[in-house]
Chain A
Amino acid sequence: MATSIDLVSLERPQEMTVNTQDENRRPLLSIRDMTVEYRGRGGSAKAVDRASLDIFPQEVVGLAGESGSGKSTLAYAACRLLRPPAVITAGSTIYGGGQFSKSPRDIFKMNDDELTSLRWKEIAIVFQSAMNSLNPVMKIGAQLRDAMDVHLNLSKSQAEAKVEEVLDMVGIPRDRARSYPHQLSGGMRQRVIIAMALVANPKLIIMDEPTTALDVVLQREILSQIVELKERLGFAILFITHDLSLMMELTDRLAIMYAGRIVEIGETQALRSNPLHPYTRGLLASFPSIRGARRELSGIKGAPPSPLDEIIGCPFAPRCSFIRPSCSEVSMKLEQLDRVDPTHLSTCPFEAGQGDFVELEKIKGGPDE
């Protein structure tokens, strides 16, 4: 790993300074320079490397990347949900600000009580394949009440009413509260999990591949229900997924992760129409389209690096069709390349030109070849 650039990375990206000036647009959750390592006998594997991400109130942010790119690790680390062998070696998560709390707080400085009151009431999580992790010997209603017992102080009748309320929200008949998980279809179980995330009316819901195991018809039904609830209840969503095509339809902003780093971030439409990082371009050219003219699919050669490998410069370079000698000196800092859009950032210092990447010297003084 390149150690010489650690100091540089401490500078805040432009996005941050612009937004903190505007009180109403202060981020709900601000992840700064998060670095996570998994330590084992074989050495330490850097799963996330200096990743920063802001989520604003009521916003839908997508975190996309291949398996092993560190997207789940980043989200779990930000909420202090990781256990050894995962070690957070650097970074912070600031929660709050704006209208939601008195002052922004660092999640890593909270004590256990504060953490308990943050979890579920402020930030809820829909875990990966959670629909298969419902307790098979407990009725749905009892499992929903369990979540309330820990986080809310409700009487028995209030809790009963709340169970019915959240089941209504996700479109499950109330009498299903007396069903066991195996009596429900996969789609219904996924809805129960979403209902569980809603019990305490959180400001942010992190959804880790919430619909991956479902077929496309069901997937769209559940996602449009989530969007409807988001508009009604006003929570923000961080979506973790490998399905970029779905994210394009759903999110306001997108962050693309590769080998533990966020390599590109921006408004979803900007990312779609003007992808800056070659990896993003490769991903966009990887999935077949169902509508419109058939387009040529190029895909991406090779496979992502092992997290145990020491990476110098850009981790995508070995698979990149625009590789050049200076790729080994790239600082992997998110920079503005798009002259007009200050929110669209990429770690690749080369600009997408006609069929080739042209080095941009004016905005960033890139290293000489």
Chain B
Amino acid sequence: MSSSGEFRFNADAKMKAAQSMEGVKVNSSSTGDLLVARDIYKSYRTSRRAGAVVEALRGVSLELSVGKVVALVGESGSGKSTIARILAGQELPSSGEILFDGKVANFRGSKNYRDYKSKVQMVFQDPFASLNPIHTISYHLSRPLAIHDREKDKQRALDELCEMVRLVPSERFLQKYPHELSGGQRQRAAIARALAASPRVLLADEPVSMLDVSIRLEVLNLLDQLRSKFSLAMLYITHDIASARYFADEILVMYKGVIVERGRAEEVTQTPKHPYTKLLIDSSPDPDDLGSNLRSSAGSGSRDVASQGSTDQGCRFAPRCPLAMDRCLSQDPSLISISSSRRVACWAITDDGGDEASVSMEGGVRGKF
């Protein structure tokens, strides 16, 4: 991928990059894959009664590769953060495996766990909650240095970390407490803490959604520069599919514990195939939509709250889906390739030619929901 430098969000550069990515990995065995989740299931018991479980993940596979950003998009409760916690080794999957650099990751025992943690680090959503209010920034950055045996020449390491996330001059920030920093600065400190372990994978769980609109872009730009500078493999979890379009190479759309669509960021956002992806995109705010249905209620009709319901069988999106067929209610569709870079889990798309189905939905999705 050729683009990097100061302004990766430059439209031309990114388009060229997208074209040069033609035929980029689709296949999980290709060489660049660093962290791989293979068929992960995770269920949580909800009460002591036997069988009362919530299936948070139902067979999720994904690959993070060197220098690439994969975005995981979906509504709250879709399992985005669960897969991140499993990738970070903070939780064990009910079944399935995590591979790091081609080898099955071993989290048993504190040494193995620590080794894994030095390679895979996480950045959390809320920088107000993820930093300890009674410790200075210096302390927050020193701990991972100590834990991961990087304490030699500690002061220089601290200065470098501050430099990396542009908390400069570092001596001004190191002695500060979290409450003395703005939201954007706090998130930079949290990113520096993740980098202190000198990881190869960064899992960013909604890293900018708590920040103000004018600050978000800066933090995303920073993450992007770190990605290219250190060839980090990055997972970007968000509910804002528009930011994923600009920031990520590949987008995976999750719905109720499964990936329903995946493909290159520009393709997924511009020609969405799965009805849920379409719904997500149609629901995203569009400042240029002057005839928005929010300006007048004409045609929106009354909405049925019960449409949020779900089934235990078949496609979990079927109760809300305008394309739902009998088959959708009984059989769960699996993720099937529809092109070299695109996979969709939807009977209506994979069964009888994706294009027909997508044409028939053109322009009408928003009204139907």
Residues of A within 8 A of B (CB): 66-67, 171-173, 185-188, 191, 214-221, 223-225, 227-228, 231, 242-246, 248-250, 269, 272, 282-284, 286-301, 303
Cα-based distance from A221 to B243 in the complex (angstroms): 21
Question: Which residues of chain A are within 8 angstroms of B240 by Cβ–Cβ distance?
Answer: 216
Instruction: Flag B277-310 by CB within 8 Å of A: 1 or 0 each.
Output: 0011101111111101111110010111110100
B246 touches A303 (CB 8 A): no
- Decide yes or no: A296 and B292 within 8 Å by CB, A216-B283, A245-B286, A248-B285 being known contacts: no
Question: Which residues of chain B are within 8 angstroms of A290 by Cβ–Cβ distance?
Answer: 241-242, 245, 269, 281, 284, 286
A296 touches B280 (CB 8 A): no
Question: Which residues of chain B are within 8 angstroms of A269 by Cβ–Cβ distance?
Answer: 290
Question: Which residues of chain B are within 8 angstroms of A299 by Cβ–Cβ distance?
Answer: 214, 216-218, 221
B216 touches A248 (CB 8 A): no
Closest Cβ of chain A to B284, distance in Å, is 5
Question: Which residues of chain A are within 8 angstroms of B216 by Cβ–Cβ distance?
Answer: 286-287, 299
B292 touches A217 (CB 8 A): no
A–B Cβ pairs within 8 angstroms, 24 of them: A215-B75, A215-B76, A216-B284, A217-B280, A219-B283, A220-B294, A223-B294, A224-B300, A227-B300, A242-B213, A245-B287, A246-B285, A248-B287, A282-B214, A286-B216, A287-B213, A288-B242, A288-B243, A288-B247, A289-B242, A289-B287, A291-B281, A294-B245, A296-B9
A288 touches B305 (CB 8 A): no
Cα-based distance from A282 to B212 in the complex (angstroms): 13
Ranked nearest first, the 6 interchain pairs of A and B with the lowest CB-CB distance are A299-B217, A248-B287, A228-B297, A249-B292, A245-B285, A215-B75
CB proximity to A under 8 Å, residues B95-136? none
Cα-based distance from A227 to B214 in the complex (angstroms): 28
Question: Which residues of chain B are within 8 angstroms of A186 by Cβ–Cβ distance?
Answer: 76
Cβ of B90 within 8 Å of any chain A Cβ, yes or no, is: no
Cβ of B185 within 8 Å of any chain A Cβ, yes or no, is: yes
Cα-based distance from A219 to B300 in the complex (angstroms): 14
Question: Which residues of chain A are within 8 angstroms of B10 by Cβ–Cβ distance?
Answer: 296
Cα-based distance from A312 to B318 in the complex (angstroms): 59
A291 touches B288 (CB 8 A): yes
Instruction: Flag B167-198 by CB within 8 Å of A: 1 or 0 each.
Output: 00000000000000011110000000000000
Closest Cβ of chain B to A42, distance in Å, is 12
Question: Which residues of chain A are within 8 angstroms of B306 by Cβ–Cβ distance?
Answer: 173
Question: Which residues of chain B are within 8 angstroms of A214 by Cβ–Cβ distance?
Answer: 76
Closest Cβ of chain A to B120, distance in Å, is 27
Having A227-B296, A295-B11, one finds 6 other A-B pairs with CB under 8 Å, namely A250-B295, A282-B214, A287-B216, A288-B243, A290-B281, A294-B14
- Decide yes or no: A294 and B243 within 8 Å by CB, A171-B303, A216-B280 being known contacts: no
Question: Which residues of chain A are within 8 angstroms of B243 by Cβ–Cβ distance?
Answer: 288
- Decide yes or no: A221 and B303 within 8 Å by CB, A66-B214, A249-B287, A290-B242 being known contacts: yes
- Nearest CB in chain B to that of A290: its residue: B242
Cβ of B239 within 8 Å of any chain A Cβ, yes or no, is: yes
Cα-based distance from A126 to B75 in the complex (angstroms): 23
Question: Which residues of chain B are within 8 angstroms of A243 by Cβ–Cβ distance?
Answer: 213, 285
A220 touches B283 (CB 8 A): yes
